[in-house]
Chains A and B, each alone.
Chain A
């Protein structure tokens, strides 16, 4: 009769399974490609977000609203920085 230790020790996979290693490396490469694409999209979104935030400031400047321009520009800047930080955190960018 088998002892408990013998039963529990049985059924281990082979010490080295090159096929498993290749599967892991392949999955890691695909993950790396996905992350790279995500990074590129994030950068694009950051630039687009910053552009959108600058629109009100540009519009105010075009209308010659000199008094309000500082407030609008500061608001746009704060929104841009906040958006960038949010994107960075949510996409876990370095």
Chain B
């Protein structure tokens, strides 16, 4: 979809055009769902979050300034929703973390074994780093788009991607060609 088409559809959707909004959802659903699947890990939870992100976008469409692409904006909404959901589940997560501490970190479980599953790999990164890696390496977003979506400075995103990549390469058992 060209930026011109996107702007036209956004204009129609802002005037209440559900058909135009449906086209926007169709055009951007893969990147939003893909990003949230990589971020959250669980596909069903990620799809629910993606749906909520699109509905939030529909509600706030008039506030969308068009600084970034529509898909980048919705990914940002999804990221914040996922973060809020994780915070709301904080206590359960703290219990899980305590359990993991008691039974050894996940990384230790796989020591010496090359991992080949994106979900397991990404789960080993801190949330911000995982989000940056998922957007830039998984969904092919530019660093600038990822910075806009995640509300982080460009330098932070670049450093998250670089560190996350190095860590994942070590886990996969791949030698970094750039190193």
Residues of A within 8 A of B (CB): 1-5, 7-18, 20-21, 23-25, 27-29, 31, 35
Contact = CB atoms under 8 A, between A and B. Distances in A.
Contact of B51 (A1, A18, A24): A24
B118 A11 contact: yes
Nearest to A35: B59
B30 A7 contact: no
A2 B119 CA distance: 15
B18 interface: yes
B160 to A, nearest CB: 14
Given A28-B21, A31-B55, A31-B59, A8 B138 contact: yes
30 contacts: A1-B173, A2-B172, A3-B174, A4-B137, A4-B168, A7-B121, A8-B38, A8-B121, A8-B133, A8-B168, A10-B118, A11-B37, A11-B38, A12-B33, A12-B37, A13-B30, A13-B33, A13-B34, A14-B30, A16-B29, A20-B50, A21-B29, A24-B25, A24-B54, A24-B55, A25-B21, A25-B22, A27-B52, A28-B54, A31-B55
A2 B173 CA distance: 10
Contact of A27 (B33, B55, B119, B122): B55
Interface residues of B, number: 36
A11 to B, nearest CB: 6
Contacts of B29: 13, 16-17, 20-21, 24
A66 to B, nearest CB: 49
Interface of B: 18, 21-22, 25-26, 29-30, 33-34, 37-38, 47, 50-52, 54-55, 58-59, 114, 116-119, 121-122, 133-134, 137-138, 165, 168-169, 172-174
Contact of B30 (A12, A18, A27, A31): A12
A20 B33 contact: yes
Q: Report the 8 A-B pairs with minimum CB-CB distance, sorted nearest first.
A: A12-B34, A24-B54, A28-B58, A13-B33, A8-B138, A27-B55, A8-B137, A21-B25
Given A13-B30, A13-B37, A7 B116 contact: yes
A25 B116 contact: no
A93 to B, nearest CB: 14
